[in-house]
Amino acid sequence: MSAHEIDYRIHGEEMQHVEIELDPNETAIAESGAFMMMDDGIQMETIFGDGSQQTGGLMGKLFSAGKRLLTGESLFMTAFTNIGQGKKQVHFASPYPGKIIAMDLREYGGKITCQKDAFLCAAKGVSVGIEFQRKLGTGIFGGEGFIMQKLEGDGMAFVHAGGHVHERTLLPGEVLKIDTGCVVAYTKEIDFDIQFVGGIKNTIFGGEGLFFATLRGPGKVWIQSLPISRLASRVMAYGTFGRRKEEGGILGGLGNLLDGDGI
C-alpha cells in the first residue's frame, strides 16, 4: 500500500524542527526522542519496527524490529495518528545543530541509503530497513560499518545532517571523493566504495584518516559539513585538556582567571 500523504513545513535555521500536518486518520512515524510537540487530537502509540505494511504477522513484526537493532536503533518507533476532526500538527526536532532534509522517495526511485543515525521521521508506510555493504573494504573501513539504513517506499521521509548540507548530482561515471563521516545519504544508483589515501606522509601526518569514500555517479548525494563524530571528538578534547590551545601557558592561565575557569 502507498504511504500516507502528509504536508510539512521546516522551521528554524541552525536548530531546525519539522512540522507535519496530518489529515484525519493519517499517521507519521518517528524515532524515539524526536518528538517535540503536537496538537490535541493526535494519538501517540509505541510500535514494533517502522509500522510499514507487513505480511508475516508477529514474526514479520519481530523481524522488522530486529533489523533496527543492527543499525543501533531502538526496537520501537512511535506512531502519531490524527484521530480528531480536521487537520492536526505534530512537530519533530533535530537532535543537534544542522539541517533537516525532506525527501520524497517517489522522486528517487523509491529508495534512499543513509547513515544509520540520520533518520528522523516519515509518513506511515515508509520502510526503515538495513543496507548491507557488499564490498569488504567498504564495510571494514567505511566509518559506518557493513550496515547503513535504507528508506524505501513512495512517501515523505526526513533525515537530519550536521552543520550545512550540500547536495551534489553526479553524472554517469563522475567520481566524488569525500570524508566517510560527511556522507549523509545517496540515491540507489550511486556506487559507494572506500579508497586508501596513500602516501607515507599522508598516512602518518595527514590527520584526515587513512580512507575516504568514493561515490560514482549517476545519482545524487547529500553531504554534511559537521558529522556528529567530529563535533563529539572536539568537545571531548576540550573537556580533556581544559585549556585553550591557541593561547600560550601564561596567556592561557590569565584567560582562565578572567573567565572563571581557573585559580
Mean pLDDT of the region 176-196: 88
> Hey, what's the cell of 174?
563522475
Q: Is 97 part of any domain?
A: yes
Q: Which residues pair with residue 99 across a beta bridge?
A: 161
Task: Give the pLDDT mean for 141-151.
Answer: 64
Looking at residue 37, its pLDDT comes to 96
Averaged over 146-151, what is the pLDDT?
79
Please give the backbone phi and psi of residue 50, each rounded to the nearest 5 degrees, phi first: -105, 0
Three-state secondary structure call for residue 90: strand
**Range of the structural domain that residue 93 is part of:** 7-161
* pLDDT band at residue 220 using 50, 70 and 90 as cut-offs: very high
Total tally of structural domains belonging to the chain: 1
Q: Which amino acid is at 74?
A: S
129-143, 144-158, 174-188, 223-237: which range is least confident on average?
129-143
In a domain, 185, yes or no: no
pLDDT, tens digit, 9 for 90 and up, residues 5-48:
899 999 998 889 999 999 999 999 998 889 999 999 999 998 87
pLDDT for 3: 82
Is the pLDDT score of 54 beyond 70?
Answer: no
State the sign of the Cα–Cα–Cα–Cα dihedral 113, 156, 29, 2: negative
Asked whether residue 241 is assigned to any structural domain, the reply reads no
Tell me how long the chain is.
263
Write the pLDDT tens digit of every residue in 231-252.
Answer: 677 677 766 655 554 444 444 5
Report the pLDDT averaged over residues 130-150: 60
**pTM for the predicted model, two decimal places:** 0.78
CATH code for the domain in which residue 76 is found: 3.60.160.10
Output the CA–CA distances (angstroms, integers) from residue 194 to 16, 149, 221, 224, 229, in the order listed: 31, 18, 15, 18, 18
